[in-house]
């Protein structure tokens, strides 16, 4: 199935920090011809630009905490209302109330969620990835230091990539604990709804991307 022929999937991408949600979310959205939103990248961009949202988010992100559900739901409602087709959400919902908000929003607009994808990566691998992770402040590419051009430049746009401000081990462990407390119940919720796809994501990026693409290519078009 080419992206031009694909159905307007609505997909949420879930997983612990450093599981590859940003990389795989962008690639899946591009493959299927869908809109894409990374709530984490959106928040970090607002922090860097010192917006009102960024000022509210900064102290929470610095402590490895999630933003309050009501704030995240408001941000998502604005973004969803501007979409005209399908999408991939990376980093939302992070909690059961956020999942219930999304269900309600979709129902109000006579839409439904096609799938929730859970990227599965062991904790030790996540820690290793976090130590090597970099992000481009210009195009929001995320990846490993080994992928940089001349050891410093983003391979997508050439800007200077850097470590994320929230990527230290103590902060990471707090974010992982938040994932266990809030997002794992959300993943179980989607499993109960019968729309969860568990994707083992310890393989190289291209293999994981191919696995995700193959899964959705196999879903019949409406």
Domains of the chain by range and CATH? 7-217 (3.40.50.300)
Preceding omega of 100 cis (within 30 degrees of 0) = no
- The residue that leads in pLDDT, 166 or 123, is 123
Q: What is the mean pLDDT of residues 5-34?
A: 91
How far is residue 23's CA from residue 18's CA, in Å, rounded to a whole number? 10
Report residue 221's pLDDT band, with 50, 70 and 90 as the boundaries.
low
112: burial class by Cβ within 10 Å (0-12, 13-18, 19+)? exposed
* Assigned token pair, 21: 């949600």
Q: What pTM was estimated for this model as a whole?
A: 0.83
Taking the mean position of all CA atoms in its chain, how far away is CA 78?
17
CB 41 within 8 A of CB 61: no
Taking the mean position of all CA atoms in its chain, how far away is CA 137?
17
Quote the radius of gyration of the chain (alpha carbons, Å).
Answer: 17
Give the model's pLDDT for residue 71: 85
Residue 220 has pLDDT above 80, yes or no: no
């Amino acid at each position: 199935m080419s992206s031009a022929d694909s159905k307007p999937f609505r997909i949420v991408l879930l997983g612990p920090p450093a599981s590859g949600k940003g990389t795989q979310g962008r690639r899946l959205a591009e493959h299927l011809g869908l809109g894409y939103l990374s709530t984490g990248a959106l928040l970090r961009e607002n922090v860097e630009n010192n917006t009102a949202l960024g000022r509210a988010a900064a102290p929470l992100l610095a402590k490895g905490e999630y933003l309050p559900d009501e704030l995240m739901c408001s941000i998502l409602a604005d973004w969803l209302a501007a979409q005209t087709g399908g999408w991939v959400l990376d980093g939302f919902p992070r909690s059961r109330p956020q999942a219930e908000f999304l269900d309600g929003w979709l129902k109000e607009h006579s839409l439904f969620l096609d799938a929730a994808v859970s990227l599965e990566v062991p904790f030790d691998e996540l820690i290793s990835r976090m130590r090597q992770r970099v992000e481009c402040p210009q195009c929001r590419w995320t990846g490993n230091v080994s992928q940089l051009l001349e050891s410093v430049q983003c391979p997508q746009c050439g800007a200077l990539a850097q470590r994320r401000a929230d990527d230290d081990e103590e902060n990471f462990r707090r974010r992982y604990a938040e994932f266990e407390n809030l997002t794992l119940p959300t993943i179980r919720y989607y499993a109960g709804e019968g729309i969860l796809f568990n994707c083992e994501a310890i393989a190289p990026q291209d293999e994981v991307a191919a696995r995700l693409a193959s899964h959705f290519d196999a879903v019949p078009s409406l």
